[in-house]
Structure 1
Amino acid sequence: MVRIAEVRFAGINVTPKTNWSFVEVRTEDGRTGTGECTLANHEAALEVEIARLDAALRGADARDRNAVTRVLVHAPAGLVRHAAVSALEQALWDLAGQEVGVPIWRLLGGRLRGRVVLYANINRGVAERVPAGFAAAARRAVDDGFTAVKLAPFDPFVWEDAAEPAQRAAYAQGLERIAAVRDAVGPGIDVMVDCHWRFSAGGAAALVRDVARFDLHWLECPLAEANLAEIRRIRSMANDRGMRLAGAETLAGLAGFAPVIAAGAYDVLMPDIKYCGGHEEMRRIAALAQVHGIEIAPHNPTGPICHAHTVQVCATIPNLGRLEVQFGETPLFFGIAAGAVPAISGGAAPVPELPGLGAGLAEGVAAERPWRPMGSPWLDPRLG
């Protein structure tokens, strides 16, 4: 028996607008497994939820993942609960690999590839949020070896306020940002656009028509997943114009993804290992998606532990596209970590060979850089 001694929360501030959140599971034999549960502006709730897990799981067997990490779509704490459980599951896999001396992917049945192709999410690396600022960030990513870049160009637009002149100007500027990135990277680079659920159904239809000239690889999360019929209609419009539709980054569990898959809502599903339930649940989601001919491109724009875990599971998924990675947000991506975090440059990440995850948090970093409330979050609170 491998008894859990402690489940603890670690929130770390990495930029004036970004905290990353983690779970560390310590066992009585002195080992530590690490998972990531970053959920912007919900650090205090995560800390409370993980304290509840700590009280419930002390003395439990760390090998009993099936018993302690079940995903309940109707969980009262919602995405906070799912993030905490997903990070716990990650940490337990880390411990399992450490125990037998093999990487996580080996315990998941073996890898299908030795490297995972990446795309660069440049959004939070853009300080000057003008078209030229987005273009410069995109060029830096291409110069670093990426063959695909993603931007989120429409802040501060929200469809509920679309009648206001300032919102119309924000939409127009969003199109200018996309045009600048397309011109900067040229025709040989894939460009993806993340909409962060900013549009109504009618607005999303107009958006598809307006962005068709930019030869996008995909359009992501144009509207909330509550209306699958409208998302399916938008997908059809996008496909007719040579674009894929991508989304579902905040859903949890196979039960959360199954209706989306059945509805044919997306060409590309983006489960996030921080929210979907962890390694095994992501693999179940990917398997169901494969049956329906749907590609998996996991959501992964946060910290180094999420990245390291997602590379491990991506090594085992047949219907994998590119994996997202944050680009240019902060050098602390590597600075807060210990061990070997897979690369985020050169357009691909090697699949690790070290036991377990092969990475963790640097000693004392959570105390040195404690999380702090964000007065100016990246997203309008109405968007999640």
Structure 2
Amino acid sequence: MPTPARRRPTVKDVAEQAGVAPMTVSYAFNHPARVAEATRTRILEAAARLGYRPDSTARALRSGRAKQLGVVVGEHLSYLFDNPQAAQFLAGITDVCVSEDLGVVLIPTRGDATDVDRVLTAAVDGYVLWTTVADDPVLAAVASSGRPAAIQGGPAHPGLVCIGPDDRAAAAAVAAATPLAEATPVIISFPLDRRRTSGILRGHDLPVDLMDPQAVPFPVTGARLAGYRDALTEAGHDWGDVRIAVVERNQRVLGEDAAAALLRTLEGSGPVVVLAMSDELALGAHSAMDRTQRQAGLTGWDGTREATTSGIWSIAASLREQGRACARAALSRDIEGHQVPWSVVAPEFLHPDTTAS
């Protein structure tokens, strides 16, 4: 015969055990300064004997604070742990939460009608949003929720603090650091649309205004493509003829496959410059170049040691610091969005003077 479930002790049980009024027990846990130290000690001892713990949900309803920060993720949740830079971003958020004695709630979105309810019903005091698309209904829902929120990388939205580097300027700078004039440029790009369509395009297949969120809904992708176009045009290349491999996700193996596919579209064996939107994609491209023994310059993004020691130019814009900045913004209504510092990082075999910002 199953053992009957033990009744959960209540505030009244603790009050009776400690010989005080139920309101005094409530004050002991929620407003300890209102209770004499000896009385509070007696109440806590009684609670420990009974196994009583305050109901965190009820406490949150009374105080109006959940003491938790929501992190809204448009990727698979495992991406936050599998991708080194996403893990750094999450680590930055948790740095702030630890110092503020807060918990973290990871809230996945799937791009369907359930997203808004899932996000808004989470018991959190504010939100940090990972980069998403401009027409994501979660943006408007969070902005109108009355809770402070910050988004990393955009898209900009009224009521949300936007934090990230100047992607367009940084992309132009890292591309210009390579020998563009003497090589054939190709690009490995993040997704251009919510469906994450992959494939190989040419510059003339893309919208004229890459910064228009209606044309390229992922703002990071549009800004970096615009920066690459700026540098390539300045170097004398025909943007319309530039080959661009769009990958579904930021994974090294996809960078390797994309680079191999791009090489198959090129004639001859002349030098190539591969402009990749992350170090993970660039490292994948590096493997493809090694396998085919093709001479190539490579750029990435994130400034990782693995990339720079592999001969890859990169952009350093600390995602851990961006995570901290987003968390601080999501805990305060007074912090304005800002662009984070970035710098071009040269491969380690080059002289330090070649690094620019």
TM superposition score normalised by structure 2: 0.29
Larger radius of gyration: 2
TM superposition score normalised by structure 1: 0.28
